[in-house]
Amino acid sequence: MIVILIGYMASGKSTLGRILAKKLNYEFLDLDDFIEKKENSAIKDIFKSKGEIHFRKLETHYLKELLDSKNNLVLSLGGGTPCYSNNMNTILNAKNAKSIYLKASIPTLIARLKNEKSKRPLIAHIETDDLLTEFIGKHLFERSQFYSLANVTITTNNKVESDIVEELVLELF
């Protein structure tokens, strides 16, 4: 089975994905890390040198490659992946795959993101918490229509990682 974790940046996809993969004895892949290895370039450098549209094309290409070739995989997607190039439809139609939306509130996301903006190309330029709140709120509004199509939604606010992973396992099996 391929477990596909979707959600906004800092919703816990990579952290929880690693724990879940270990618990299930599955391989874990973060799509952004996979792209960086394949392209031999950091995501922020791809954004900077070739732009977001080029990055989104790469993202779609590698998503399809992984969905076609891997079994027993926990795959963490970038926050925008489900929202571009009909990717959510590709995810929903993937054989032997289950998508899970890790839903986090705006205050939870702000708390997680405000100290790591430099690592996140889409928010690196945002200077204040108020502007970050506005940006995330707008993005979540735009992206929630895609995220909500996932097979399962799990809210992660105020939960410890081990409890969320148990909830994931119960939803999967």
Domains of the chain with bracketed CATH = 2-158 (3.40.50.300)
Q: What torsion do the CA atoms of 56, 96, 170, 26 make, to the nearest 10 degrees?
A: -80
Q: Residue 59: pLDDT band by 50, 70, 90 thresholds? A: very high
pTM for the model stands at 0.93
CA gap 104, 168 in Å, rounded: 15
Do the beta carbons of residue 20 and residue 168 sit within 8 Å?
yes
H or E stretch including 127? none
CA gap 161, 26 in Å, rounded: 18
Q: Which residues are annotated as a binding site for Mg(2+)?
A: 14
Q: Is 82 exposed, middle or buried (0-12, 13-18, 19+ CB in 10 A)?
A: buried
pLDDT exceeds cutoff 90 at 31:
yes
153-167 pLDDT per residue, tens: 999 999 999 999 999
Q: Which residues are annotated as a binding site for ATP?
A: 10-15, 120
Q: pLDDT value at position 117?
A: 78
Q: Which residues are annotated as a binding site?
A: 10-15, 32, 56, 79, 120, 143
98-147 pLDDT per residue, tens: 999 999 999 999 998 887 877 777 888 888 889 999 999 999 999 999 99
Interhelix angle for 43-69 vs 31-39, to 10°? 110
Q: pLDDT value at position 173?
A: 87
Burial profile 53-73: b = 16 or more Cβ within 10 angstroms, e = fewer:
eebbebbbebbeebbeebeeb
Q: Which residues are annotated as a binding site for substrate?
A: 32, 56, 79, 143
Phi (first) and psi of residue 110, to 5 degrees: -60, -45
Q: How many CB atoms lie within 10 A of CB 141?
A: 9
Interhelix angle for 129-147 vs 106-113, to 10°? 120
Average pLDDT across the chain, whole number: 93
